Structure 1
Amino acid sequence: MTIIIAAGGTGGHLYPAIALAREFLRRDSSTKILFIGTSRGVESRVLAHEGFELALITAKPVMGKGLLDVVQAMLSLPVGIWQSWQVLRRRRADLVIGVGGYTSPTVLMAAALMGIPRVILEPNAYPGLANKVVGPFAQRVFLAFESAATFFDRRNAQVVGTPIRREFLGQESESQGTVKGNGRHLLIFGGSQGAQAINSAVLEALPLLMARVPTLTITHQTGEGDYERVREGYRALGISANVVSFLYDMPTVLRTADVVVARAGAMTIAELTACGKPAILIPLPTAIYDHQMKNARAMEAAGGAVVLPQSDLTGARLSEIVDTIVTDSKRWDSMHRGSLAMRRIDAGERIVDECYAIMGVNHDINQSFRKAGG
């Protein structure tokens, strides 16, 4: 069986796809997985680290671009469809999965023309343009938020949550209880590419925050472009922290955190809630359709997050919010429970079950485990 996954551009598109790929392999280790992406996004680096094969096609973004870029993107569409057609035919694809981003439309359209079963995953509270465009061509649309259902044919749409890697699961015991007096750890990350505005606010907040919570320890993911500046900022302030450009092992890092400062991509929300982490969410203000704010407000409504719009972001305000969460055990407990209340940990299993049904495959997971000696 060969599964083709069109995903890339950002970690928010890529990591749900990786979670699905691993669930297919967990069911049947003989399954062949191929990702299709471009050379523009993070997929080359991340997929090589995760051990998956990547085929490159021509595809360009449309949203937020000028007229010339839009024209070039539209002209590249037939090329991308033809390249996708060749890959799907050569690999004899049994199923195509689109996870949004500008790669998905070309691959999904090629699959539709070839009659290959196809599904899409929409992890955001407000769907992106790519998934809205290819929605009519998909046999199933898997959603993370009920609010996204109005944009698709309800007969084909199912609200299942966002697939997350199994490394995030089965660790609830590490997230239980109150914040320990000497174990308070702050995790800061701005998505796969980092966030300069968050990095700057954190550097501004550090003197105030460390004066309020001197035992606080910090892991700070900066993004490649801002790594040197942020690392030098910590050094100049005389503050020891784990400053990195990218976090490959997010499950381990996230489980050690007591409070998280982050953007509000769908994957971030899914991972935070899987681990029950209280969060301070700073949505990307330029996100298409303001979908990150909608994601953040959903977690805030559940009680698991404080939303801090970037327009209100200052070092003083950020340090104040972090302080009130890590030093108030009752508030931390309440936010921990609110975060856990949102988690959906069976999304990957449900999506794979449905994909087998669409392909007409009668798959017995227990039989696969017996064949593997499990």
Structure 2
Amino acid sequence: MTGPSHLIIAAGGTGGHMFPAQALAEAMLRRGWRVTLSTDARGARYAGDFPHVVDVRQVASATFARGGLLTKLVTPFRILGGILAATVRMARERPSVVVGFGGYPSIPAMAAAWLTGRPRMLHEQNGVLGRVNQLFARRVDVVACGTWPTELPEGTNAVHSGNPVRASVLDRAGASYIPPGDYPLSIVVIGGSQGARILSDVVPAAIAALPEGVRKTVRIAQQARPEDQARVTGAYAEAGISAEVEPFFRDIPRRFSEAQLIISRSGASSIADISIIGRPSILVPLAAAIRDEQTANARALVEADAAILIPESQFTPDSLSRHIAAILTQPDAALQMANAALGTGVPDATERLAVLVEELAKKDLS
């Protein structure tokens, strides 16, 4: 008798890679599959939330983006060593499917899958392929795209899968939207660890500049880096605005569902959450992103008239204040934005990925 089908998931150490990887792992375990996570030592530290039955396998990998000259000289040998070890093991195990989620720790398993001819797939969260996924895009059976459209190399076989979201987000999917009115209005501001500084600089001043009739109704929940928390809190207090300012909110899905407006960076996970719950948003892509993927991520919401995009070069207190006021003083338009956001969401993204995995496995058996 043969054992259960075996999925190897290859993923890097950032939340953007690991969260959808975890969602797929959980889905395939429910379907009776055996699941292995292939990552490096750094990635393994982010794997604590994976189900305990997932075999976390560390392989040698490295990146040219970090370290000094000596580290960079050693990097190709570490990568080759990881590929060799993964290839030997994969030739012996012959997994049913290998799925890569990006990040340099995914290189050994994806290269081994290509060298051994195993069915393989990529999932790309952003609207522009990451460097590792770009390397393998034409060497896999299919690229599942979390953002649509995604910029892809010519000849790539791609499908729109959407980005998996947390169960707590799905629990709030399509939550009824309360349009702005003459009552307390909630604005949620999130920026991520890399991109919160400019939001801390601009948003409090923009809120303070709102017309009095709007300003007196707003309640702010803003994520700010620890070093900015005191000054942001002080700015709101000085303007007489009710605000919660914290480095991290653990109840973002609830806050999103209760918000009249979200101001956010346009990371892939944030865009997915906004579209699944369905809220008007003002998006500020991270200008430092090497491939400008956050602008690409925002495209679907902006083109659906569900969001307003403000490039960093135009992100000033005056411009932001005008956009906030326009949304909060036009309840019908705000409701249309919320409904339009819902139309871009893919609440069954995890299920779509699971189906793709099973289809690849069937092709290998045919």
What TM-score results when the alignment is normalised by the length of structure 2? 0.82
State the Cα deviation string for residues 69-88 of structure 1 (Å, max 9, x = none).
Answer: 76554343213324545776
Per the alignment, residue 48 of structure 2 pairs with 48
State the Cα deviation string for residues 82-117 of structure 1 (Å, max 9, x = none).
Answer: 454577689874432111222222220123334443
Per the alignment, residue 233 of structure 2 pairs with 234
Per the alignment, residue 19 of structure 2 pairs with 15
Q: Distance in 1 between matches of 2:250 and 2:87?
A: 32
Q: Secondary structure at the match of 2:99?
A: strand
What TM-score results when the alignment is normalised by the length of structure 1? 0.80
Kept after mapping to 2: 8 A contact 1:36/1:57: yes
Kept after mapping to 2: 8 A contact 1:127/1:151: no
- CA drift of 1:181 comes to 3.8
Letter in 2 for 1:23: A
Q: Distance in 1 between matches of 2:235 and 2:113?
A: 54
Q: Secondary structure at the match of 2:8?
A: strand
Which of residues 282, 294, 297 is equivalent to 1:295? 297
What are the within-5 Å matches in structure 2 for residues 79-94 of structure 1? 79-82=81-84, 84-85=86-87, 93-94=95-96
Per the alignment, residue 369 of structure 1 pairs with none
Per the alignment, residue 126 of structure 2 pairs with 124
Kept after mapping to 2: 8 A contact 1:22/1:165: no
Per the alignment, residue 109 of structure 1 pairs with 111
Q: Distance in 2 between matches of 1:177 and 1:325?
A: 13
The structure whose Rg is larger is 2
What are the within-5 Å matches in structure 2 for residues 157-172 of structure 1? 157-169=158-170, 171-172=172-173
In structure 2, stretches of 5+ residues that fail to align are none
Per the alignment, residue 331 of structure 1 pairs with 333
Letter in 1 for 2:11: A
What are the within-5 Å matches in structure 2 for residues 259-338 of structure 1? 259-338=261-340
Kept after mapping to 2: 8 A contact 1:234/1:240: no
State the Cα deviation string for residues 207-229 of structure 1 (Å, max 9, x = none).
Answer: 3359542232222223xxx2232
- CA drift of 1:49 comes to 4.5
Q: Distance in 2 between matches of 1:315 and 1:35?
A: 45
Letter in 1 for 2:48: A
Q: Distance in 2 between matches of 1:278 and 1:354?
A: 31
Q: Secondary structure at the match of 1:103?
A: helix
Distance change (3 Å), C-alpha of 1:14 and 1:248: farther
State the Cα deviation string for residues 221-275 of structure 1 (Å, max 9, x = none).
Answer: 23xxx22322443046425533333345543333232211111122222221111
Kept after mapping to 2: 8 A contact 1:4/1:36: no
Matched pairs, number? 354
What are the within-5 Å matches in structure 2 for residues 26-45 of structure 1? 26-28=30-32, 31-34=34-37, 36-39=39-42, 44-45=45-46
RMSD: 3.4
Distance change (3 Å), C-alpha of 1:64 and 1:282: farther
Distance change (3 Å), C-alpha of 1:70 and 1:217: farther
Q: Distance in 1 between matches of 2:58 and 2:182?
A: 49
- CA drift of 1:121 comes to 0.8
Kept after mapping to 2: 8 A contact 1:128/1:288: no
Letter in 1 for 2:112: A
Q: Distance in 2 between matches of 1:175 and 1:23?
A: 28
In structure 1, stretches of 5+ residues that fail to align are 363-374
Distance change (3 Å), C-alpha of 1:142 and 1:191: same
Q: Is 1:5 matched up with 2:6?
A: no
Q: Secondary structure at the match of 1:148?
A: coil
What are the within-5 Å matches in structure 2 for residues 181-260 of structure 1? 181-191=182-192, 193-209=194-210, 212-222=214-224, 226-235=225-234, 237-238=236-237, 240-260=242-262
Which of residues 356, 359, 371 is equivalent to 2:358? 356
- CA drift of 1:50 comes to 5.6
Q: Secondary structure at the match of 2:358?
A: helix
Per the alignment, residue 343 of structure 1 pairs with 345
- CA drift of 1:14 comes to 2.5
- CA drift of 1:133 comes to 0.6
- CA drift of 1:309 comes to 0.4
Using the aligned pairs only, state the percent identity: 30
State the Cα deviation string for residues 289-324 of structure 1 (Å, max 9, x = none).
Answer: 222112223321111110010111122322332232
Kept after mapping to 2: 8 A contact 1:175/1:277: no
Q: Distance in 2 between matches of 1:93 and 1:246?
A: 39
Distance change (3 Å), C-alpha of 1:339 and 1:59: same
Kept after mapping to 1: 8 A contact 2:172/2:254: no
Kept after mapping to 2: 8 A contact 1:135/1:152: no
